[in-house]
Structures are given as structure tokens and as C-alpha cells.
Amino acid sequence: MSEEQHASSSSSSFPEEVLDNILHFLPTRHHRNSFSLVCKTWYRADTLTRHELFIGNCYSITPQRAIQRFGNIKSLVLKGKPRFADFNLIPVNWGAHFKPWSTCMTSAYPWLEKISLKRMLVTDSDLLLVSNELLGFKELVLDFCEGFGTTGLAAIATNCRQLRVLDLIENAVLEDASLEQLVARSPSLKKLRLNQHVPIEQLWRLMVRAPQLTDLGTGCFVSADPMVQVDVQRDLPLAFAACKSLVSLSGFSVIVPEYLCTIYPVCANLISLNFSYTTINTEQLKSFIRHCHKLQKLWVLDIIGDEGLQAVGANCKDLRELRVFPLDVREDAEALVSEEGLLAISEGCRKLQSILYFCQRMTNAAVVAMSRNCLELKVFRLCILGRHLPDHLTGEPMDDGFGAIVMNCKKLTRLAVSGLLTDKAFSYIGKYGKSLRTLSVAFAGDSDRGLRYVLEECPKLEKLEIRDSPFGDAALISGLHHYYNMRFVWMSSCKLSREGCKEVARRMPQLVLEVIVDPLVEDTGEAVEKLYMYRSLGGRRSDAPKFVSIL
Amino acid sequence: METVAKYEGDLNLKATELRLGLPGVEDFEKQKTPIVRNNKRALVETGDDCGSNNNSDISDARDRDLETAPAAKKQVVGWPPVRSYRKNSFQSKKTEVETSGMYVKVSMDGAPYLRKIDLKIYKGYPELLKALMAMFKFTIGQYSESEGYNGSEYVPTYEDKDGDWMLVGDVPWEMFISSCKRLRIMKGSEAKGLALGL
């Protein structure tokens, strides 16, 4: 018997093999985290057998410490900048460099198979390192990352012979030649999502070479060259039909409506469709969506209108996730979708779990209806584009609508609010949002009371992002008991002062408080314009730029 | 190939510039150094941002907003919360739709049906002419300013915004694609009149 087994038989009656077996069945990292807290033996078992390393904030821990804890990682998920960086609220060069992680991980985990990065700064040399050091590398997902170009991607395409997934969500372009090389060399390639600049002729060639594709992101859906060698109307439907496993389509950044019908052969199998870069109109959508009965995920533009959404509600009974994006991103643009579209979706798609809905106007009644019809909702994100807009029929704040959502949707974990909201809305969130993990607030609330409701009463809250709301130091202090349970708090254009933030920093040594100043403004005085606060075992980070002051 | 115009900041200065070419034509650059590009955008926008810098103005601003709700609101950084990538995709697309000279019909004397081509995908006359020759299986001779396509069996012509039939190649490319409404491959014998400047 080994040393470990002697120890385990005294502290617990489970031999290692049994522990490993149990661990195998634990579905998520949250379960594993709980498991590892029981005793040293169980902690060690987790250390040795955990295969996926999930780091929700790259600054919460140093890479060196991470590799000390876990010895055998096959999959790395790493997230960097806070989400509000997407909206230009964080100056460039704030951080989230992949480099310290790439050097550390490639040497500590040579059998690493998957890397999934979100909002990180990734360079070509990082990708080159990955492609050279990780022999069994299978999946690369780069979500909203930047800093790399075609060189790095070409290295991945050339060197990673076992690549199954290449998912570049809203990222750079892969050069034509490498793309075809990649597909030719990768018989296991299942997911290819590029979403940019892949003209139809090349798309056809790629599909013909890779009929095993399950996920395809297309890019341009037009012919680049009138002297096409492929007869689009005839050959493309055949190519699509040959991809019998195709269940997910995205891209279509430029689409000629006549080519839409070439996709019809796959509609019946489609589970996921991203048309959010496609300016097809209501009629085109209606004739298309009739075929998509299995659709579970749909991303569209609001130009399809309430009528288009009614067609979705009528045809896509299995819909789980819907995102409706605005074509015209202005506060006072023409209203293309409204409460009617939301109502139609809520009545037709009863299995809905996640919704992101941009609109120019909304009513409490429609939101309440959704809260009653869609009881499976986990994610409810409503963005009324005009700031502080009330219910456009009653003139009332949107408090009751959002209140109904938190009250009726017991599985709700993520909420984003908008429109005119008083502290009452937050009292509802505090009272009913007991499962809430992520909350996004903008231009809402009356006083500190609003934020206090949330911090004092939402026990599961992990991620909080607030902008332009009248919450100050007193509200910030009210959350001290909870901040170590959270991944981060973002507050910008609120009423925070340096003194208040320093107080929090003093009392919470393992919390990092970053005050981000506008690089152009010399003296900001007492007011804190942007606060990014997160728990960390790594302490103050060494790569903070000048415009970040860590309290 | 599709070009994506990168506009600097929300002010969309490029769209209001006076120029003859289509917007976005020369703006296509490979994203080798996106950091530099984003830097510019951030600076411009924080410079413009007067709505959300001053904390004590928040409730005042809100009251003001409520009073003047129907009026156009001044722009604020990062609102609406739509990613730049998405915003930029459609800014360029909208101007594409608004300008003329994208898909044009091409007819050839003697051919039974017309074709359609997208002028935007060509970088210049040589490419366009090559494509036309391949499409319709004809040849043309060298172009010269003084004599046009003298000696060719066929001659490429186009109808411009004013309704006049012009010889392809006389004006700068940018001007051509913004004014060309349709193309016609004329028989050489018929085109003699054009070349002689009648």
C-alpha cells in the first residue's frame, strides 16, 4: 500500500480509486471545489484529477500558483477584461495579457488540448508557442480577443494537426491559403467559425472538403468573382446537403437574398443560427424560418421587425436562446421591434432560457407576460436603447416589469436592466433574486438604497457591473461581507470617492481595487470615475499601466 | 471582397467628407496592429464624452433628460452597449446600400441575356476588363486615351448618371464606379463613333 492509501484509510474510508471514480461523476467545477474542501486527501484527489482549469479573472491568481495547484490540466478557460471593455469604457493597454499564461501553461501542461480565451490580449508569438509546444492541441476558441493576426493563426492552422475546433468569434481574418490547408489537413475539424471574408466559392470548396463539419461560420455570402467556377445556385445546396452533420450556421455578413435558398437543405437540422450580421428583411426571414423547426439558438437583427419575431414564435417551438440586435445603434433610431415582438416570442417559445433584446420602446405588461410564459428563463437582458425611458404606454417606470421577472423566473441567474428604474426595482431584485449571479445596471436607481438592496440581499451575486447610477461610498461599504464571494464589481460614473474606495481597500486585504482614470485628464480629484474591484490571491498586479492606480 | 470601413469614433467624420469615391474603399487594412487603431478610437471618444465624466451631474443630467426626453440626447461613451465590431459592420453596410454603382447590369451586343456584376469587388480597370472578357468570351485591344479601344472586335461602354454612353476607361476608377449605371459591350464597328469623340 502506498503512503496516500495509508493516510486515506485513517482519515476517510475511501481508497483512492473510489475517490477518483466519484470525482469522475462530478459535473462541474463548483462541485469539485466543494469536494476539495472536505479534507486533505480529497483535496489531493481533485488536484491530481481535475482536467479543466477555469479562471474567470486572469488577475485573480498568478499562473505559477495555478500550476502548483493542478498538475494535469487538459483544458484552459481564461477570461481577461471586464465586459464593459467591449463598449470602450476601458482604455487600451489596460492588461489581460496572455503571455505570462502561455509561457507557463505550455511548459507545465504539454498535454493541454483546449484553450479558450475571452477578452485577452493574445499575440502572434503566443499562438506560435502554442502551436509548437502543444502536440495534441485540439481546440482554440478566441472570444473577443485582440493583438494577433494572420501569422499566429497560420501557425495554428499549419502545426496543429489534430485541430477539431477553431472558433474565432468576431476576430481576425485567416488568410485564404491557410484556411484551405487547415481544412485539408484536419479530418477531425468539426467547428470552423470565422465570420469574415470567406467568399462563396471558397466556402463551397471548404464544405466539399469537410463534410463532417457541425458548426460553420461563413463570412461573406456573395460571389467574389463573377467568373465563378462554381454554379452557386446548383452546387452550393448540394455542398450544404452533403454536410449532414451541420447543425450550426453563423456569419453571412454580406448576403445576396437570392442565395438564401441555398441553405434550405440544412434548415431542418439547424440548431443554431446566427443571422445577426445579415440584413435580410421580414419577408425573407419568414420564408426561411418556416423550415427551422429544430432551432434552439437564434441571433438576428431587429430589421426583421415584430412581424419577423412573430414568425419565429410561430415556428421555433424549441427555441432556447434569442438575441435581437439593433441595426441602427442610436438612441433615437426608428423603432423596429417593440413590446409586441417580445410578447410574440414569450407566447410562442415557452422553452426560452436566454434572451437579449434591444428595442426602442417597451411596456411593463409585455415584460410581465414574458415572466409568466417563460418560466425556464435563466438569462434576461433587456436593453431599451433610450436612457431613462419609461413604459411608453403608461409612462410608469419599468420597475414592475423587471420585478415580475425576478419574482416569477426562479431559475434566473443573469439579469440586465434598462429604462427608467427607481430604487423599487432594486428592492424587487434583492427580495426575489436569490439565484442571481450576474447583474448589469445602467442609468438606473435613485439613491444608495438601490445598490444596498442588491448587495445585502442577493447571496449568489458574483458579477456586478454598474454605470451612470447614483450609488456612492455608503452603498459600496454595505457589500463588504460579500465581496470575497464575488468575481468582480465594476462601477463607473457613479458617486464614488477615493476615500470611500480606500476604506474598502483597507478593510479587505485580498480585494484589489483599481481606479481607472482617463489618460487625457490630469487631475481627477476625489471623484472615482471608474472602479474595477476583484478578489485576488495574486495581489497587486505588476503589469498595471499608468492610468490604473491600485488602492 | 467585402471591405469594412473603420470609422474613427462615433462622430463618423469620414462619412461627411466630400469625395468622389465610394466610402470605405481605401480604408480596408489588415488588422495587424489593432491596438494602435483602438487607441485612436478611445481617445477620440473620451474627448467627446462630456456626459458621464462628472459624477455630481448624474442626477442633474437625469432630471434634465426627463424634461427634454423628446429631444436628441448627447452621445455618451459606450451607450448603447453594442460592441464596436458590430457597430462598424453596419456603418459601412448602410453607406454601401445608399451609394449607387454596386451591382450593374452588363449587356453584350448579340448575347441572348444580360449578366450582373458587382463593381465594388474590382480594384481597377484591368481587373474589370479581364472579368468581362472571361464572362462574355471576347477580346479587346489596348486602351489608349486618344483612340479608345481601336482595333477591337468589341468595346466596353457604360451609361453614366446623366444617361450618356461613355467609353470605359476615360475617367478615374473611383469616379467610374460611382457614376456607372450599366455596362454595354458594344460591337467595335458601332463604337467607332464614341472613340472619335462624337
8 Å CB contact of A388 and B39: no
Examine residue B165 and state whether it is found in any structural domain, yes or no: yes
Is residue B23, in this structure, part of any structural domain at all? no
The packing angle between helices A29-36 and A16-25, to 10°, is: 150
CATH number of the domain residue B182 falls in: 3.10.20.90
Q: What is the mean pLDDT of each run of 10 residues along chain B (198 residues)?
A: 41 52 42 35 34 40 42 73 79 48 82 85 85 84 77 85 86 85 85 54
Distance from CA of B82 to the nearest CA of A (A): 7
By DSSP bridging, strand B103-108 and strand A527-535 are: unpaired
Position B91 scores a pLDDT of: 58
Strand partners, B166: B158
Q: Are the beta carbons of A423 and A449 closer than 8 angstroms?
A: yes
A-B Cβ pairs (cutoff 8 Å, strict)? 145
Instruction: Give pLDDT, residue B9.
Output: 42
- The grid cell for A463 is 458579477
Q: Do B82 and A442 touch (CB under 8 A)?
A: no
Give the pLDDT confidence score for residue B12 in this predicted structure.
53
CATH topology (fold) of A51-188: 3.80.10
Hey, are the CB atoms on A495 and B89 less than 8 Å from each other?
A: no
- Three cell numbers at A273? 443560427
Q: Does residue B73 fall inside a structural domain?
A: no
Distance in angstroms (rounded) separating the CA atoms of residues A136 and A302:
42
Reply yes or no on whether the pLDDT at A373 is more than 90.
Answer: yes
Q: What is the pLDDT of residues A319-358, one digit of tens each?
A: 999 999 999 888 888 899 999 999 999 999 999 999 999 9
| Partner-chain contact B80 A329, CB within 8 Å | yes
Maximum C-alpha span of chain B: 78
B152 falls within a domain: yes
Answer whether residue A156 shows pLDDT above 50: yes
Total of domains in chain B? 1
d(CA A428, CA A399): 8
Residues A426-446 have a mean pLDDT of 97
Q: Is residue B44 part of a domain?
A: no
pLDDT confidence of residue A258:
66
The per-type count for chain A, helices as H runs and strands as E runs, is: 21, 20
Using CA atoms, how far apart are residues A18 and A24, in angstroms rounded to an integer?
Answer: 10
Q: Note the maximum CA span of chain A.
A: 78
Query: With contact defined as beta carbons under 8 Å apart, do A400 and A372 qualify?
Result: no
Confidence of residue A268 (pLDDT cuts 50, 70, 90): confident
Q: What is the pLDDT of residues A26-45, one digit of tens each?
A: 878 888 888 888 888 888 88
Q: Within a domain: residue B63?
A: no
The C-alpha of B19 sits at a distance from chain A's nearest C-alpha, in angstroms, of 24
pLDDT tens track for A68-122? 999 889 999 999 999 999 998 998 889 999 999 999 999 999 999 999 999 999 9
Residues 146-175 of B with CB under 8 A from A: none
φ, ψ dihedrals at A276, nearest 5°:
-80, 0
Instruction: Establish if A471 touches chain B: CB-CB under 8 angstroms.
Output: no
Q: Quick check: is B2 in a domain?
A: no
Task: Classify residue B161: in a domain, yes or no.
Answer: yes
What's the pLDDT tens digit per position in A97-112? 999 999 999 999 999 9
Are A223 and A247 in contact by the 8 Å Cβ rule? The answer is: no
Sheet hosting strand B115-118, strand order edge to edge: B115-118, B103-108, B182-187, B154-159, B165-167
Domains of chain A by residue range: 51-188
Q: What is the pLDDT of residue B115?
A: 87
Chain A from 8 to 37: CB within 8 A of any B CB: none
> Cβ separation of B80 and A358 shorter than 8 Å?
yes
Interface check for A176 against chain B (CB to CB < 8 A): the answer is no
User: What is chain A's mean pLDDT, rounded?
Assistant: 87
Interchain contact B50–A (C-beta under 8 A): no
Q: How confident is the model at residue A206 (pLDDT cuts 50, 70, 90)?
A: confident
Range of the domain at B113: 103-190
8 Å CB contact of A220 and B30: no
Model pLDDT, residue B193: 57
Distances (CA, A) of B34 to A145, A173, A372, A445: 10, 12, 45, 37
Angle at alpha carbon of residue A435, lines to A434 and A439, rounded to 5°: 95
pLDDT at A404 over 50: yes
The confidence score (pLDDT) of residue B61 equals: 41
